[in-house]
Structure formats: C-alpha cells, structure tokens
C-alpha cells in the first residue's frame, strides 16, 4: 500500500514542477520538444486516475480498520485527489489554441 501511495503522490507534484519549470525556461530547451509535451499529457491523464485509485483503496482500508491512521491516510488521499483535479483544471485554463 505504501508503494501505491508513493506512486499516487508523485504525479501531481511532478506535473506542477514540469509545467512551471517549462514556463520559466528552466529545463534547458527540453520543454520545446515532443517528448516534453507527451510527458505532460501522460501526467495530465495519469495524475487524477492514480489519485482516484488511491482514494478508493484508502476508503476500503478505512471501512475495514476504522482507525485514526486509516482516517489520516484517507483524508490525505482526498487532498491528493483534489490537488490533482485542481492542477488539471489549471493546466486546462492555460491551454491556448
């Protein structure tokens, strides 16, 4: 379960770091390649999906255990899910066609 938590916590933060580093031109030109765009699209799609999977697993764990630690992890997964959705919404507002 801790590996799933680590996997679900990283993409929203990585998406933010890559987006802001690319907009400030801190990536040394990597942000102007096709690989950078595909990485952003993959993280854009995967971040909410992984956060939702973590939220479902933590909710199932909370219903089994009903402890303070399970409640803490469930509330943290809710926070990560809303963060992933907020980051995706922010990136959608920045899309200019």
pLDDT tens-digit series, residues 75-97: 999 999 999 999 999 888 887 75
Please give the helix or strand (H or E) that residue 79 lies within, else none.
helix 68-93
pLDDT tens string 56-75: 999 999 999 888 888 999 99
What are the b/e assignments for 28-53, b being 16+ CB within 10 Å?
eeebeeeeeeebbeebbebbbebbbe
Instruction: State how far the Cα of 30 lies from the Cα of 17, in Å rounded to an integer.
Output: 13
For the chain, what is the radius of gyration of the CA atoms?
A: 16
As a whole number, mean pLDDT of residues 23-30 equals: 81
Residue entry with tokens 């040394």: 28
Say if pTM beats, i.e. exceeds, 0.95: no
């Amino acid at each position: 379960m801790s590996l799933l938590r680590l996997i679900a916590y990283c993409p929203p933060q990585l998406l933010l770091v890559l987006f802001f580093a690319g907009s400030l031109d801190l990536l040394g030109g990597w942000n102007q390649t096709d690989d950078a765009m595909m990485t952003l699209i993959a993280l854009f799609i995967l971040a909410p999906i992984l956060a939702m999977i973590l939220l479902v697993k933590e909710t199932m764990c909370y219903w089994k255990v009903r402890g303070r630690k399970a409640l803490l992890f469930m509330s943290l997964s809710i926070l990560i899910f809303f963060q992933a959705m907020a980051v995706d919404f922010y990136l959608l507002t920045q899309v200019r066609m």
